[in-house]
Amino acid sequence: MRSVRAKDSRMGSVINAALSRRVAVLAALASIYAFALPAATAAQSLRIVALGDSLTAGYGLGDRDAFPVKLEAALKAKGHDVEVINAGVSGDTSTGGLARLDWSVPDKTDAVILELGANDALRAVDPAITRKALDDALGKLKSRKIEVLLAGMQAPPNFGGDYAARFNPIYPDLARKYDVVFYPFFLDGIATVTKLNQRDGIHPTAEGIDFIVARILPKVEELIARVREKRK
């Protein structure tokens, strides 16, 4: 009897020791995953800054209807883990946007949607000034290794062909120079469409913003793809 009980005791000790080792291993793995999973999630998240003027800021609209807010929602609906920050300032020119770029685009920004120049055109600013400001802005972002989507603008037709011939090529020229994602005209499809613009005929309605988001979305996804590729 004593022999059987001794054998049972030894067997129990072996089993308990094995169980203890297994619990220790599981605890260690749980600890690893507890730290690893949030890090992996954070690594997948993207921060996009929309740097622009009133078209970005959401002039005349509720907070929920501004372009960056609706763009973020559309991207999340497609499964992208992103944060789109509204760095739009109503009335800003390309020179104004350049002046505040360093603090408007914080550290750890992955990408920028650069939407500036509409006010330059409306005020008939010398296109050479607009070109230099946007060139300098893109140069700064490039030096910080931030991916960019450049949203183009077009001169109002009433300013005449000469002005348009100097202003309109700024965007495609700079897009080629810096090899950035390019959306030729931010107001494509809604400019001059009464029902998609507010009473001033310049700023989009909430429906107009929906239209812009739907059209620019593939280019923003191209921007995101560039960021993901760079992270590999």
Domain ranges in the chain are 1-43, 45-231
For residues 231 and 108, the answer to whether their CB atoms sit within 8 Å is no
More confident site: 46 or 24? 46
Active-site residue 80, yes or no?
Answer: no
Instruction: Tell me the pLDDT tens digit for each residue of 208-226.
Output: 999 999 999 999 999 999 9
| 3-class state of residue 107 by DSSP | coil
Query: Which residue, among 200, 195, 175, has the nearest Cα to 185 in the 3D structure?
Result: 175
Report how far residue 171's alpha carbon sits from residue 150's, in angstroms, rounded to the nearest whole number.
7
The predicted structure's pLDDT at residue 200:
94
Torsion of CA 138, 167, 90, 108, to 10 degrees: -10
The predicted structure's pLDDT at residue 44:
74
What does pTM read for this prediction? 0.82
For residues 53 and 91, the answer to whether their CB atoms sit within 8 Å is yes
| DSSP secondary structure of 171-206 | HHHHHHHHT-EEES-TTTTTTT-GGGB-TTSSSB-H
Active-site residue 203, yes or no?
Answer: yes
The predicted structure's pLDDT at residue 4:
42
Topology of the domain comprising 45-231:
Rossmann fold (3.40.50)
Query: Which helix H or strand E contains 50, and what residues bound it?
Result: strand 46-52
The predicted structure's pLDDT at residue 114:
98
Q: 205 pLDDT exceeds 90? A: yes
Which amino acid type is present at position 70?
A: K
Q: 32 pLDDT exceeds 70? A: no
Active-site residue 31, yes or no?
Answer: no
Structure tokens at 190: 């809604």
The predicted structure's pLDDT at residue 196:
98
Q: 33 pLDDT exceeds 50? A: no
Q: 65 pLDDT exceeds 50? A: yes
For residues 202 and 60, the answer to whether their CB atoms sit within 8 Å is no
Active-site residue, from 104, 110, 120, 203: 203
Instruction: Tell me the pLDDT tens digit for each residue of 137-186.
Output: 999 999 999 999 999 999 999 889 999 999 999 999 999 999 999 999 99
Average pLDDT over residues 72-88: 98
Query: Which helix H or strand E contains 115, and what residues bound it?
Result: strand 111-115
The predicted structure's pLDDT at residue 30:
40
CA angle, corner 125, sides to 67 and 199, nearest 5? Answer: 45
Active-site residue, from 53, 54, 80, 94: 54
The predicted structure's pLDDT at residue 43:
52
